[in-house]
Chain A
Amino acid sequence: MRQHPFRTLVCAAMGCAVIFLLSAPAIGQTPGSVTKTAAAAKVSENKAWTAPHLPDGTPDLQGVWSNATNIPLEKPRQAAPARPGAYTNRQANGDLVLHYDNAQFGLDRSRNVVAEDTREYLVTTPDGHIPALVPEAQKRIAERAAFTRDHQWDGPETRPLGEQCIMWPNEGPPMLSEGYNSNLQIAQGPGYVAIMQEMIHDVRIIPTDGRPHIASDIRQWFGNSTGHWEGNTLVVDTTNFTDKVAFQRASENLHVIERITRVADDKIQYEFTVEDPHTWAEPWGAKIFWEKESTPIYEYACHEGNYGMRNNLSARRAMERKAEEAAKKEAK
């Protein structure tokens, strides 16, 4: 089967199907690309390679990177049929193996820049799953879901954050592949690392001068990040999230630690650990590889062209009017 369900989608504005898929709970289907293999990633280890540094001695992470991947975040609940031979995320003709389950990132077949990776899932927990939600989180999430179910068409605030053009799912931190336009650019100045994500042109500027976090009453969509270098690894600590934080329905107490290491000229290893006792019983994390890209990132102006929000709400109001009129007619 070679269907391209997403390729023809025009997602210049909001309201495209991808958002709904990404915001839906993960359902394990039967992904053809998942087979039982070693959980280690295949990153070519060139012994002669030394990590590039800036003139001041700071490791050089700069460039345009793709964090697209076709490996699911969690181990699929349903085992995939075994395939003969060594595991690869490409088909015999060189095309990427794609499976459109909701745990998968890199939905668009036109995306061909994906780090070679032989793992069957990205999380680093022993059982391959995100730890169970604590009762408090189950309650909070159920209440939120019920509210959304009843009020999702009421107004802009109850639409998904991506449709509002406030932030895209998976922009993080932690930063996961975003479904499409999973591109990042890193620029470094003395004492700062800036990470720009293509989606909604969001920039995180991470100071590496040892400063503390900002006051805890300042809450932000991306939290507040401080960083430091451990050898060649940039370690970023992020707190101060809002109570509407998007990552895996965590609470405002989410604490994210990211470890970003260049492991080859064309590859970055991105690891993260998240903890939030109000959401998960224990901390968990994942590891993803970013592949270097050769073209610049283009402006993604989301809000400015947000016809999706206007169309969705006005269509809903039209449907309600129609239903009202039909009910009136019936009453006569």
Chain B
Amino acid sequence: MDNKRAGSMTALAVVLLALATLPGWAQTAYRAPRMADGHPNLNGIWQTLNTANWDLRGHAAAMGRVVALGSEDAMPPGLGVIVDGDEIPYLPAAEAKRKQNYENRLKDDPEVKCYLPGVPRATYMPYPFQIVQSTKTIMFSYEYAGGVRVINMDKPTKSPADSWMGWSNGHWEGDTLVIDVTGFNEDTWFDRVGDYHSDSLHVVERYTPRSAETLTYEATIEDPKVFSRPWKISMPLYRHVEKNAQLLEFKCVEFVEELLYGPLRKHPRNDNP
């Protein structure tokens, strides 16, 4: 290779590097396959590969909550998914409540009871979910507890009442599916360490194609009763590429009946005090 050619290649590499470090470049550079309506095709079975469900913040590995489960219940380590600092901006009273949640997490985490996970927790639970996308309607079906959301892509409508999975209105901003979620009840948590919200929760989710097999997921979380300012999480979603990939049933209700109703049995089980 002569010097001139090597020099021009170095220059090209420098330009490419500079482009790659510009904010958002990686996202806008990828052009996702289109649906007939011109919008990106987000159909597929997706899942995160992180430990946000254990703790949104960065955390070292830690002992689990149930001694008998040993390392199966240990908390896997994670770098955290919160954007711009590793902090959730709780108001002082809310921080106290979060600590209380943490102390009582084995009893109070709605996941333990197989309750619907809410948003954004449904996205980063360690189970897959499927996006079924057409023009007017996008359905999100979650394996965990059979959770489901229907995203209204028409004129935005108002939540008729509070619910576990919230009320979702969606629209496209370029290649990004933006979902505005309101109408939550106050009964879901964000993770297993007691991070929580009130019924004033407002979540804005952004799903952006970043490669054929990955999406970027961002959620801005706002709740003036609990947080002093909006905060944001971000993580990639990975496509299940297995040939026969499909959601299976995870109807966990039957697995928590002993936990919830065991003491009400005619003959309570001795092995489960």
Contacts and interface: CB of A to CB of B under 8 A. Distances in A.
B102 interface: no
Interface string A176-189: 00000000010111
Contacts of B35: 55
Interface string B97-118: 0000000000000000011100
A284 B139 CA distance: 33
B43 interface: yes
A94 interface: no
A18 B35 CA distance: 44
A320 interface: yes
Count class of interface residues, chain A = 35 or more
Interface in A129-171: 153-157, 164-167
A195 B222 CA distance: 32
A203 B139 contact: yes
B163 A187 contact: no
Contacts of B164: 299, 301, 304
Nearest to B268: A155
Interface stretch (B2-10, B83-91, B192-200, B258-266): B258-266
B261 A309 contact: yes
B261 A296 contact: no
A10 to B, nearest CB: 15
Contacts of A113: none
B27 interface: no
B150 A297 contact: yes
Given A165-B253, A301-B164, A313-B265, A205 B147 contact: no
A330 to B, nearest CB: 22
Interface stretch (A1-9, A215-223, A255-263, A285-293): A215-223
Nearest to A242: B249
B36 A56 contact: yes
A86 B162 CA distance: 46
Interface in A213-242: 214, 218, 220-222
Interface in A290-320: 296-299, 301, 303-304, 309-310, 313-314, 316-317, 320
A166 B36 contact: no
Given A62-B136, A203-B141, A220-B249, A154 B266 contact: yes
A295 to B, nearest CB: 10
Interface in A188-224: 188-192, 194, 196, 200-203, 205, 207, 211-212, 214, 218, 220-222
A196 B145 CA distance: 14
A102 to B, nearest CB: 26
A54 interface: yes
A303 B246 contact: no
A205 B150 contact: no
B246 A205 contact: yes
A166 B254 contact: yes
Nearest to B110: A304
Contacts of A55: 35-37
Contacts of B116: 201, 301, 304
A214 B244 contact: yes
Given A164-B257, A190-B43, A296-B152, A200 B146 contact: yes
Nearest to B249: A220
Nearest to B149: A299
Contacts of A297: 150
Given A192-B43, A207-B246, A314-B264, A187 B251 contact: no
A54 B114 CA distance: 37
Contacts of A185: 137, 139, 150
B257 A194 contact: no
Contacts of A314: 264
Interface string B139-182: 10100011110101000010011011100000000000000000
A317 B160 contact: no
B163 A301 contact: yes
B249 A317 contact: no
Contacts of B165: 299
Contact of B248 (A56, A218, A313): A218
A64 to B, nearest CB: 9
B123 interface: no
B1 to A, nearest CB: 46
A33 B148 CA distance: 37
A118 B37 CA distance: 40
Interface in B18-74: 35-37, 41, 43
B267 A196 contact: no
A298 B253 contact: no
A226 to B, nearest CB: 10
Contacts of B246: 205, 207, 214
Contacts of B147: 201
A169 to B, nearest CB: 16
Nearest to A215: B244
Given A203-B139, A205-B141, A299-B164, A310 B249 contact: no
A316 to B, nearest CB: 8
10 contacts: A56-B36, A62-B137, A155-B262, A189-B131, A189-B133, A201-B148, A298-B163, A303-B115, A313-B265, A317-B266
Interface of B: 35-37, 41, 43, 114-116, 130-134, 136-139, 141, 145-148, 150, 152, 157, 160-161, 163-165, 187, 244, 246-249, 251, 253-254, 257-258, 260-262, 264-267
List the 5 closest A-B pairs by CB distance, nearest first: A55-B36, A313-B264, A156-B257, A187-B139, A155-B265
